[in-house]
A and B are shown apart, each in its own frame.
Chain A
Amino acid sequence: MRALEKSPASLLVPFYFFLLGLLILFSLILLVQGVTGAGRNDSFTNMLFIMTGLTGLVSTFYMIRRYQVSVQKMLKERKTVVLTVEECSKCSYKAVRPFREGDYVYGYGEECPRCPKGSGDTGVENRMVITAIYLEGGRQEERY
């Protein structure tokens, strides 16, 4: 069997996390410098170091979170509920149930619970007709 080709971008993720690691390290150094005030008596500069370090840390964690969310979105199983509408042609009884494989519009569904089954009924006489099959929720999710 032919193996599916690999993407040239498969090394991207480790490299991305390596860069994020560097950013965290740099931010931590700035933060420590700011807190300890090494080599300065200037509180304003220390404050700037602290702010820069914190900003670096916050933005790094934001980027990690964004990556997590995008991966979750990508891998999230698309759970859609498709419904089948059945109608009895004799008594107009209508029922809605989840779609089952083999259902199709104007095909036969289940037996009508209201209409009594005649003794001579052997085939589709008592079965409801599928009049619609549609996606629950009304509209498709648009991500872009």
Chain B
Amino acid sequence: MQPLLFLGQDNTDIGYLINILYMAMFLVLVFWGEKIQTMIRLRDIEYALERLRLMRDESVKFTKEKLKKYGREDINRFLDNYLEFVTIPPVDMDPAGVVWKLDHIVKTAEDRVRGEIKQIIPNLDESQVLNIMNLFEASYALNYYYKVVRHYYILSKKTSSYILIIQLQAILPQVMMEAEAYLGALQAFSSGQPIGDGAGALVAARLMRGGELFDIERDNVYTVKNIQGRRVYFMKAKGPGGAVGTPGDALMKLSEKESFKMIFMVDAGLKLEGEKTGSIAEGVGAIIGGIGTEKYKIEEVATKKTIPLYGMIIKMSLKEAITPMTKDVLNGVEEAHQLLLKRIVEKSSEGDAVMVIGVGNTMGIAQ
């Protein structure tokens, strides 16, 4: 009977050759195993980097295509410059008053971009300017992801740092997911479709319908309605452009002339994996994202005047938050709307003044 032989075990020339190959492979793996693993990991990072570059290029190309209709070449140049735009945060060695400094810097940056777009294309209305700014921000984010990943890729290659490579590879799926979300957001931003992040604003818009609207502070509107004997102030960012408004400033101003018994906030919130999109979570505190300046102002008002802060979160993924609103989110909006009306009546008494803030990007949502 023929004994069981493996590749290289027979005494032929090919067998010897294969034995030598096996031994060589063993030595290679002993001495250069880590190097080979590094190469494999770097290859994965290179692939992701190439995808990020394609996404960034596609987003810039798409934005320029969309801006072609305005017939202004300057806007393309402005977009290229905007991709490298920097906003330097204030010094925080002495943290007292840093929020106001940050608020000032962020508003200055926004004013500058808004002003330059208006200067290049003067016939744009406010909504169009805001939508173009949102488009620019998506391209900016994609360019930023690409540049940061490229930086760490080159750095880890230069230093041959295995730990750096592993760390970079570990965060790549999250980075790619966020980059994909920004790429998917372009269509919505360019045509002014409501996005998932506008869920809070949509809840407020539903409740504001039919009321007389008043502008207050930068990009906010509010209305006052009577709900079972309560004076309810509904506030949101002014639509239908892609604005988030300044609810903190508006609340500070309104609280000077009205003494609120409670504040309700509704906003879109990031869900954890496994949670259902559109599900509602109730809680307390200032439910608002962003850099924190508006949150600070709302908390300041609430703390100084001892006003309870109640809130609702409509849950969704990052992708759902910045791409066109899904049916699940819309169902969540409907649920939050009903629940909010119920809670206003439950928590307050007749004659009370209640503030409701619908937080979020109001793109594609009027009022």
Contacts and interface: CB of A to CB of B under 8 A. Distances in A.
Interface in A85-144: 99, 101-107, 132-135, 137-140, 142-144
A4 B326 contact: no
A66 to B, nearest CB: 11
Contacts of A12: 43, 46-47, 50
A115 B324 CA distance: 31
Contacts of A49: 7
A105 B241 CA distance: 11
Interface centre among A80, A99, A106, A143, by most chain B C-beta atoms within 10 angstroms, is: A106
A42 B18 CA distance: 15
B109 interface: no
Interface string A46-73: 0011001000000000000000000000
Choose among A8, A99, A104, A132 the residue with the greatest number of B CB atoms under 10 Å from its CB.
Answer: A104
A144 B47 contact: no
B365 interface: yes
B54 A99 contact: no
A82 B324 contact: yes
Interface residues of B, number: 64
Nearest to A130: B366
Contacts of B193: 82, 99, 103, 133
15 contacts: A1-B77, A9-B50, A12-B46, A40-B12, A40-B14, A45-B5, A45-B7, A45-B15, A74-B54, A80-B187, A104-B364, A106-B205, A134-B325, A135-B324, A137-B327
Interface of A: 1-2, 4, 6-10, 12-13, 16, 33, 38-40, 42, 44-45, 48-49, 52, 74, 78, 80, 82, 99, 101-107, 132-135, 137-140, 142-144
